[in-house]
Structures are given as C-alpha cells and as structure tokens.
Structure 1
C-alpha cells in the first residue's frame, strides 16, 4: 500500500507519497538489494578517498583537494536519495513530509550543481598542470582553490534557492502521489494546481546554462591539454599525462551523459519515453557516479591506488596484532 489514490486532494500538503518506479513493483526487492550494495560501496569508497587524502601528506596537491571535495559531494548526493529509495523498495514506506520533500529536492539538485562545478575545477587543474607546469604552484594556490570551491557552492545556492521557493509557494491542491523515487523537481511540479511553467522553465534554463557553460570550458581545457600532450617529445610523458587525465574524462562522461539525458527526457520526452524509464534514468544518474567515481580514481590514479592499499594493509595488520 503506497498511500492514497492519485485522486486524493489536499489544500495544504502535509505529506507526499513516492511511488518508486511505476510498474516495477515486482522488482522492488532486487532494487532494494542493489541500491543498498551500491550505496555501501559509494560510502566506503568515497570515505576511503577522503581519509587517504587527508592523512597522507604526499597527497596535499590541488588535484587531490578537488577529488576529496568531490567525494564529499558524492556522499551528500547519494545520501539525499538512496536511504528513502531503499525504504520504499523494501518496506513500502513511501510517505515523505512536505518539508522533507523540499529539503531532499534542494540537496539533490544543489549537489548536482556543485558536482559539475567541481569537474570544471578539476579540468582547470589538469590544464594548468600539463600546459603550464612551471607555474602550477603559483597559479593554484590554496587561496584560489578555496575561492573556487566557495564560488561553486554559492552558484549552486543561487540556482536552487529561487527554484525551491517558487515551487514550494505554489498551491498543491491536486494529487499528493509523486510518480518518482525521490522529490525530483519536475515530478513535484506536476502536482500543483497552478501553472508550474515559470519554475520548470527556470530549472531547464539554469540547468542548461550551468551545465552547458561548464561542459564548454571543460572541452576547451581538454582540447588544449591534448595539444600540449601530443606535443611532448617523450612517449612516456605522453602516456603519464593521458593516464592522469583518463580518470577525469571517465568520471565526466559518467556524470554528464546520464545527467543531461535525464534532464531533457523529463522535459521533452515525457510522451515518448516510458515513465519507468525516466524514473530509472534519474535514479541511476544519482547513484552510479558516487559508486563508480572512487573505483575509477582508485584504478586510474597510481598515487591514490598505492596510498589506499597502504592504508588498508596498515589497518589490516593493526587489527591482526590487536586480535585475541
């Protein structure tokens, strides 16, 4: 029993009811198990990266600083939605209060806006490291890195605050059932009995501007990086530079492709793409990057891989010596 029927009406919503993935009720147990496993990997992997970067003095470089912040954002993004998803799929607990719903919406969309900004900062870091190596320390100072992170967070807050305010102040006198696994903006906007177009258009325009500008700058950075890499005389230096950038490109592809697909399918493909496919795409977009990001960086970045193995071996040996 997921809550009241779709015809249930309310003048002042006390709670919403999340359907989960419409039409996939028979697979809910497997979805709960899969999401729990992915969430555990995301928490463990990203916490491990944060720990390794913070405790190892040899990793106090701009690239690892941004990677550490990215891991923290991934934890926030996954934690905003996965526990409630697992509750829906495992126990049918689909209710979420009005305030909790908008809080979840704020953190989910703000975290995605912060993540795209961090990917741009990481691309800039690689550009400076490869194209201007002699000026790396002078350009990427701790003050600049902190300033970049603060700017990225402020940009996300400026984007999300008006969006949340506009939608939360619209009258919800229609259905209280959200045909989604979390309080996604477009899904909640469809429940208002006023015109949701201003907030929906605001969301589409600002998402497109933020992501579009970030992707354009990232593409420009990597174009310059590739020109510089292939201009190197040493094949070994070329391979090292490409290997370092490979993890970044993999993470960006993993984030931007499903993210942009989710945004534009929800906006343009509502009648062409089945609802369960739209919801599943939006769900995977929030859980797959946090799960795979630490794995990609652990495999592709030698320093992270070596320090992580050393930390795990140290912990294992310490536990062995403390055993009975």
Structure 2
C-alpha cells in the first residue's frame, strides 16, 4: 500500500502543505510540538491501514459526526490516510459484493486491519434484534473482530451501551467489550463523539502503530483527561457561586453557571469545552444547555438531566459590588456609633 506522503503527492499536495498538515495533526492528537518530526517521519514511511467499520444498534450519529471533521477533513482521512475498505453506511457498494469484499480484506490483512465499531450488539433472542447481511450483528461483530489488530468502539453505544442498554434494556444490549474480550479496545465515548477526537484517535493508531495511552476505563487520555468543568468558560461563575436557577431567568441571560439546572460538566470527561463542535464554533453549554454527561457510563440512567448533582458542593453566591458597598458603609456607620458611644463614656468619666 502507498504511504501517506505518496498519497498526498499523488493528489498534488506540496511538501510545504504536507508539513503544515503534519503539524496540525500533531496538535489535534494532543502531542507536544517536539513530536512533529516523528509524525512527519511516520507519514513518510507508514502505509495506509485498512479499516473495517461496522454498525450495530445505533442511530449513526457517530458517522454523522465523523464526516463533519474539519481538522483534518474527513475526506482527507478516508481518501489519503486510511483505507476504508468496508462501511455499510458510507460504501458505494452494497449487498453480497460488499460482504465478500469485507471477508477478502480480513483474509488479506489478517492481524493488520483496524475494526471500528459503531453501535452495540443485542444479546436477547440470540441477537435477532439487529440483523446485518442476513445474520445477527453479534455474529457479524465476532467474525469481523477475529483478525483485527485493534478495535475502536465509537460513541457511547459501543463504549457503554447508551440508550439501548438503559433500564429495562429489553434487547439485552451490551457494550463491545462484553462480547470481544481478547482484543485491545479503544473507547471513544460521546453521543456522538467530537469529530476531531475521532479523527485524532484514528491518526494516532495508524501513525504510531500502537494504542494511545488509555485511562482506567479504556478512553484515550489525550482527549478524556480533563473534565468539561475544568475547561468550561462558565467555571468562573461556578467558583463565584453565580448560578442559573431557571433556563429563562436573568442569570441565564448573563451566561452564569448552569450547574443548578442539571449540568453534568463536573463529572464528565471530554474535550467539549476546548475542541468544541463544528470547527470550534460552539458546544451545548455555550449554547445555553447543561452537559448531560453523554460521554460517561450509564449516563441515560444517572438521574434526571435537569436536576443538579448533590455530590458536588455548591459555593455560596458571591456578593455583588452594591452589596459589598452597602456592607462597608454599614460597617463604617457602626464604627462611628461605637466610637461616639466610647467617647461619651470617656468624657463622662473625666467630668466625674
């Protein structure tokens, strides 16, 4: 297969633009600038990696997010950086020819292809709640995973189970790691995940041929190392005890903290506050809606979305300038009265 650089040259990309691209990719993967030469070297020497992308119980929001990646463009990733060999949503082919191609790629690149899984397998009724290519997705997943060198679990469906696994879970839907236990799995939760987080994970895995550093739950630390609360521009209002009490109150118009109306930012790990969505345009909190914690396990069952978490202590509201001024004035008046009383006592003592 071609290297990344060979593919870029074939598409008429200059060396200068190639280096700019490598620099951008390095930043998107959360790597230090000192890693730029290593990224460039990898892109010059590494062949494009075959990717098989399959879909179980899901709403396709992960694919919808992925194709909206701006840095890098999803088209650049698919056409120049990976070899997307199978995707029953994005592939032009369909039916038996597409399934035969999947099996051909699995055989030809056994142990060297990446399996991307969007959605999850239902175990109920022998997997009959989700049928792909004429057989249960459960079988489709096991077969596709057998020769993969690594698996990417896209979104909260594949990572945690999401709404399909919410109580009472009638289809017995489970996350991917409950079925595939003998392969390294990178969880990229979110409903959906941020587009640039998805492309960043793919690029790290492809360029360095290794799993990125993961946290205790299997998520890439470079994207899930901080709480949304830690990067939120409304954090200053939280610290000051200035909260929105209702979505239509004056405090909401001022852009105060949304924690009291149910924001899960203090317990949710993701990059929404820094990378944001739609090429850095916005994210739910910026748009005026609290975080619902969609990147966290069992978020659908973790209580009402519009009820604050009681485990996070709420700071007392900071006094505004008028209140501070009034308090200072009252203290000054009180001091004057006390001073006057003390003076009278002293003076009466002298008269005696």
Q: TM over 0.5, yes or no? A: no
Larger radius of gyration: 2
Q: Which has the higher helix share?
A: 1
Using CA pairs under 8 Å that are at least 6 residues apart, name the structure with larger relative contact order, 1 or 2.
1
Q: TM-score, normalised by structure 2?
A: 0.23
Task: Point out the structure with the larger strand share.
Answer: 2
Q: TM-score, normalised by structure 1?
A: 0.25
